[in-house]
Amino acid sequence: MLLIAGPTASGKSALAVEIARRVDGEVVNADSMQVYADLCILSARPLDAETASVPHHLFGHVDAAERYSVGRWLDEALGAIADIRARGRTPVLAGGTGLYFRALTRGLAAVPDPGAEAKGRAQAVFDAGGIDALTAEAARLDPEAAGRIAPNDRQRLMRAVAVAYGTDRTLSAWQAEGHGGDQPEIGAWRGAALALEPKALNARIAARLRVMAEMGGLEEAARLEARGLDADLPAMKALGVAEFAAASRGEMDLDEAIERATIATRRYAKRQRTWIRNQMADWLQVNPQGPGAAAALAGALGL
Q: Concatenated DSSP letters for 73-116?
A: HHHHHHHHHHHHHHTT-EEEEEES-HHHHHHHHH----PPP--H
Which range, of 19-23, 239-243, 247-251, averages the lowest pLDDT?
19-23
Across 168-178, average pLDDT? 77
On whether both 266 and 216 belong to a single domain, the answer is yes
CA-CA distance, 73 to 151, in Å (whole number)?
21
On whether both 126 and 145 belong to a single domain, the answer is yes
Number of domains in the chain: 2
Please tell me the number of Cα atoms within 13 Å of 258 on its side-chain side. Answer: 16
- Give the CATH number, domain containing residue 75: 3.40.50.300
pTM of the predicted protein model: 0.81
On whether both 139 and 276 belong to a single domain, the answer is no
Q: What pLDDT score was predicted for residue 299?
A: 73
Range of the domain at 145: 116-177
pLDDT tens-digit map of 95-152: 999 989 999 998 877 788 899 999 999 999 999 999 999 999 999 999 888 877 766 7
Q: What pLDDT score was predicted for residue 181?
A: 45
CA-CA distance, 269 to 132, in Å (whole number)?
19
On whether both 164 and 206 belong to a single domain, the answer is no
Residue 298 scores a pLDDT above 80: no
CA-CA distance, 36 to 34, in Å (whole number)?
5
Q: ∠ at Cα 215 (212, 221), nearest 5°?
A: 65
From the number of C-beta atoms within 10 Å of its C-beta (0-12, 13-18, 19+), residue 7 rates as buried
- Give the CATH number, domain containing residue 158: 1.10.20.140
Q: Phi first, then psi: give them for residue 152, nearest 5 degrees.
A: 65, 15
Between strands 25-29 and 190-194, the pairing is unpaired
- Of 221, 201, 215, the C-alpha closest to 262 is 201
Read off the amino acid at residue 111.
V
On whether both 203 and 100 belong to a single domain, the answer is yes
On whether both 17 and 149 belong to a single domain, the answer is no
Residue where a domain stops, chosen among 150, 177, 204: 177
CA-CA distance, 95 to 265, in Å (whole number)?
15
From the number of C-beta atoms within 10 Å of its C-beta (0-12, 13-18, 19+), residue 58 rates as buried
Q: What pLDDT score was predicted for residue 182?
A: 58
pLDDT tens-digit map of 38-73: 999 999 999 887 888 899 999 999 999 998 888 899
Determine the 3-state secondary structure of 39 from DSSP: coil
Q: What pLDDT score was predicted for residue 150?
A: 67
Across 25-31, average pLDDT? 97
Q: What pLDDT score was predicted for residue 148?
A: 72
pLDDT tens-digit map of 242-288: 999 999 999 999 999 999 999 999 999 998 999 898 889 899 988 88
Residue 291 scores a pLDDT above 70: no
